[in-house]
Amino acid sequence: MSSSTETKLKIDKKTLTKAFELMATARALSDIYEENSKVTSKYVHATSRGHEAVQLALGMQLKSQDWVSPYYRDDSILLGIGMTPFELMLQLHAKRDDPFSGGRTYYSHPSLKRDDMPKIPHQSSATGMQAIPTTGVAMGVQYLEKRGLAEDHKDKPIVVCSLGDASITEGEVSEAFQMAVLKKFPIMYFIQDNEWDISANAKETRAQNAAEFAEGFKGMEVFSFDGNDFFKSYEILNEAINIIRVERRPVLIHAKVPLLGHHTSGVRREWYRDDLEEHQSRDPYPIFQAQLLENRFSREELDEIISSTRKVVEQQYEQALNAEDPKPEDLYNFDFAPTPITEEKGEREPKGKEATVMVDCALFAVQEILAKHPESLLYGQDVGGRLGGVFREAATLAQKFGDDRVFNTPIQEAFIIGSTVGMAATGCKPIVEVQFADYIWPGLNQLFTELSRSYYLSNGKWPASAVIRVPIGAYGSGGPYHSSSVESVVCNIKGIKVAYPSTGADLKGLMKAAYYDPNPVVMLEHKGLYWSKIKGTEEAKTAEPDEEYVIPFGKARVVQEADTTKIESGESMTIITYGMGVYWSKTASKAFKGHVEIIDLRTLMPFDEEMVRESVKKHGKCLVVTEETLANSYAMAMAGWISKQCFESLDAPVDIIGAKNLPAIPLNSTLEAEMIPNAEEVQQRIKDLLEY
Ligand SMILES: Cc1ncc(C[n+]2csc(CCOP(=O)(O)OP(=O)(O)O)c2C)c(N)n1
Ligand SMILES: [Mg+2]
Cα 63 to ligand 1 centre (Å):
28
- Contact (Cβ atoms closer than 8 angstroms) between residue 49 and residue 264: no
Cα 89 to ligand 2 centre (Å):
23
> In the predicted model, what is the mean pLDDT of the chain?
97
Residue 435 CB–ligand 1 contact under 6 Å: no
Q: Is 103 left (phi over 0), alpha (psi -120 to 50) or beta?
A: left
Closest atom of ligand 1 relative to the 196 alpha carbon: 20
Cα 256 to ligand 2 centre (Å):
10
Alpha helices in 248-393 (DSSP H): 276-280, 284-293, 299-321, 358-372
> Residue 568: helix, strand or coil by DSSP?
helix
DSSP string, 671-687: HHHHHS--HHHHHHHHH
CA of 48: how far to CAs of 79, 166, 253, 262, in Å?
11, 16, 17, 10
Closest atom of ligand 1 relative to the 449 alpha carbon: 1
Residue 643 CB–ligand 1 contact under 6 Å: no
DSSP state of 492: T
DSSP string, 288-328: HHHHHHTTT--HHHHHHHHHHHHHHHHHHHHHHHTSPPPPG
Cα 231 to ligand 2 centre (Å):
22
pLDDT in tens, 110-129: 999 999 999 999 999 999 99
Cα 65 to ligand 2 centre (Å):
29
pLDDT in tens, 421-468: 999 999 999 999 999 999 999 999 999 999 999 999 999 999 999 999
Task: Say what the pLDDT of residue 2 is.
Answer: 40
Ligand nearest to the CA of 261: 1
The reply to whether the predicted model has a pTM over 0.85 is: yes
Torsion angle (degrees, nearest 10) of CA 310, 315, 316, 319: 160
Residue 649 CB–ligand 1 contact under 6 Å: no
- Residue nearest ligand 1's atom 8 by CA: 127
Residue 73 CB–ligand 1 contact under 6 Å: yes
Residue 198 CB–ligand 1 contact under 6 Å: yes
User: Cα 256 vs. chain centroid, distance in angstroms?
Assistant: 30
Closest atom of ligand 1 relative to the 264 alpha carbon: 19
Mutational test site, ligand 1, from 44, 106, 197, max ligand atoms within 8 Å of CB: 197
pLDDT in tens, 390-402: 999 898 999 999 9
Residue 164 CB–ligand 1 contact under 6 Å: yes
| pLDDT at 4 > cutoff 70 | no
End-to-end CA distance of the chain: 88
Closest atom of ligand 1 relative to the 129 alpha carbon: 1
- Residue nearest ligand 1's atom 1 by CA: 126
Task: Say what the pLDDT of residue 1 is.
Answer: 39
**Active centre residues (catalytic):** 482
Mean pLDDT of the region 158-181? 98
Task: Say what the pLDDT of residue 9 is.
Answer: 75
Q: Measure the CA–CA gap between 561 and 552, rounded to whole angstroms.
A: 22
CA of 572: how far to CAs of 49, 595, 597, 621, in Å?
70, 4, 8, 7
Cα 109 to ligand 2 centre (Å):
17
Q: Measure the CA–CA gap between 75 and 407, rounded to whole angstroms.
A: 38
Ligand nearest to the CA of 256: 2
Helical (H) or strand (E) element with 195? none
Mutational test site, ligand 1, from 51, 167, 213, 272, max ligand atoms within 8 Å of CB: 167
Mean pLDDT of the region 350-359? 94
Mean pLDDT of the region 287-316? 97
pLDDT in tens, 449-460: 999 999 999 999
Residue 196 CB–ligand 1 contact under 6 Å: yes
DSSP state of 442: H
Q: Measure the CA–CA gap between 417 and 448, rounded to whole angstroms.
A: 10
Q: Measure the CA–CA gap between 111 and 70, rounded to whole angstroms.
A: 9
Phi and psi (nearest 5°) for 604? -90, -30
Task: Say what the pLDDT of residue 509 is.
Answer: 98
Mean pLDDT of the region 93-108? 98
Task: Say what the pLDDT of residue 564 is.
Answer: 98
Mean pLDDT of the region 511-534? 97
Torsion angle (degrees, nearest 10) of CA 181, 182, 187, 193: -40
| pLDDT at 7 > cutoff 80 | no
Residue 194 CB–ligand 1 contact under 6 Å: yes
Residue 75 CB–ligand 1 contact under 6 Å: no
| pLDDT at 3 > cutoff 50 | no
User: Cα 518 vs. chain centroid, distance in angstroms?
Assistant: 13
Taking the CA atoms of 552, 556, 560 and 562 in sequence, report the sign of the dihedral they define: negative
Residue 166 CB–ligand 1 contact under 6 Å: yes
